């Protein structure tokens, strides 16, 4: 019945259709039929790559354990690395930090402490204010005026100060003017009474224009602006 050389499908089709129709259907539906491969079956190459990837991941993990990275900011916060316990916030301790800060100012400003001016202002803008003894002299928020103390934290938008009464206050820089004075080094040797008790240099700091992180200020060039709120 079946020819040896004729495919089974074709002979079956020829029973139902004519010659032309059989040929057409056979070529279109059988010979040129698309075979879809299963998407879930991975090729050997993919498997090898996956093995390699897991091995690399493991190696990376091991390297991380052997050579740890510095803590990220989030980890630092979580661990409480910067926390100062309430009981240890003592003004007396920070008074000594303030002494160190004054020494730093003397070293930084040198003779400009007597004259002030642009150069001194530029130096002060790039200085560090941790340990400075500041007072709020003007502020859009009236109740903030008069707060005075030593800066214990200098963040982008606020100073945290500790007052004489061991209170920690967060003073936003926005629309606030701070004042601090740097007295020149006392010279006990000189007989001149004016020199032994010299006039301090009084600096006003416009917080509005000082809203930068302390490290960013080191390279920043400040320009003179008019404060709008004053």
C-beta closer to another protein: residue 131 or 207: 131
Name 170's bridge partners: 160
C-beta closer to another protein: residue 130 or 138: 130
Q: How far is the CB of 139 from another protein (least distance, A)?
A: 25
For 92, which DSSP code?
Answer: H
- What is the spatial distance between Cα 164 and Cα 187, in angstroms, rounded to a whole number? 27
Where along the sequence are the contacts to another protein (CB under 8 A)?
68-71, 76, 79-85, 88, 90, 92-93, 95-97, 100-101, 103-104, 107-108, 123, 126-128, 130-131, 152-153, 213-216, 218-219
Per-residue exposure over 90-111, b if at least 16 CB sit within 10 Å of its own CB, e if not:
eeeebeebbeebbeebeebbee
Which strand (E) or helix (H) includes residue 127?
A: none
Angle at 143 between CA 224 and CA 212, to 5 degrees: 35
- What is the spatial distance between Cα 208 and Cα 210, in angstroms, rounded to a whole number? 6
- With tokens 């006990």, the residue in question is 188
Q: How far is the CB of 145 from another protein (least distance, A)?
A: 27
C-beta closer to another protein: residue 95 or 135: 95
C-beta closer to another protein: residue 31 or 103: 103
C-beta closer to another protein: residue 59 or 90: 90
Q: How far is the CB of 187 from another protein (least distance, A)?
A: 21
- What is the spatial distance between Cα 172 and Cα 13, in angstroms, rounded to a whole number? 89
Q: How far is the CB of 128 from another protein (least distance, A)?
A: 5
C-beta closer to another protein: residue 56 or 81: 81
Q: How far is the CB of 106 from another protein (least distance, A)?
A: 10
Of 97, 83, 93, nearest to 131 by C-alpha is: 97
Number of Cβ atoms within 10 Å of the Cβ of 196: 12
For 142, which DSSP code?
Answer: G
Q: How far is the CB of 70 from another protein (least distance, A)?
A: 5
C-beta closer to another protein: residue 25 or 108: 108
Q: How far is the CB of 87 from another protein (least distance, A)?
A: 8
- What is the spatial distance between Cα 149 and Cα 208, in angstroms, rounded to a whole number? 19
């Amino acid at each position: 019945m079946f020819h040896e050389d004729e495919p089974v499908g074709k002979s079956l089709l020829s029973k139902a259709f004519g010659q032309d129709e059989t040929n057409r259907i056979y070529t279109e539906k059988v010979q040129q039929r698309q075979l879809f491969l299963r998407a879930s079956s991975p090729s050997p190459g993919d498997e090898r790559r996956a093995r390699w990837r897991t091995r690399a991941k493991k190696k990376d993990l091991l390297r991380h354990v052997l050579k740890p990275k510095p803590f990220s900011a989030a980890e630092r916060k979580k661990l409480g690395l910067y926390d100062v316990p309430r009981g240890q916030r003592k003004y007396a301790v920070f008074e000594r930090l303030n002494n160190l800060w004054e020494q730093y100012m003397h070293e930084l400003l040198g003779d400009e402490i007597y004259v002030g001016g642009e150069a001194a202002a530029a130096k002060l803008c790039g200085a560090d204010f941790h340990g400075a003894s500041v007072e709020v002299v003007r502020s859009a928020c009236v109740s903030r005026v008069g707060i005075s103390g030593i800066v214990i934290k200098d963040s982008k938008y606020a100073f945290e100060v500790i007052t004489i009464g061991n209170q920690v206050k967060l003073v936003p820089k926005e629309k606030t003017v701070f004042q601090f004075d740097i007295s020149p080094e006392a010279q006990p040797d000189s007989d001149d009474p004016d020199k032994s008790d010299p006039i301090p240099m009084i600096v006003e700091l416009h917080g509005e224009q000082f809203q930068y992180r302390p490290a960013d200020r080191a390279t920043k060039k400040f320009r003179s602006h008019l404060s709008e709120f004053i």
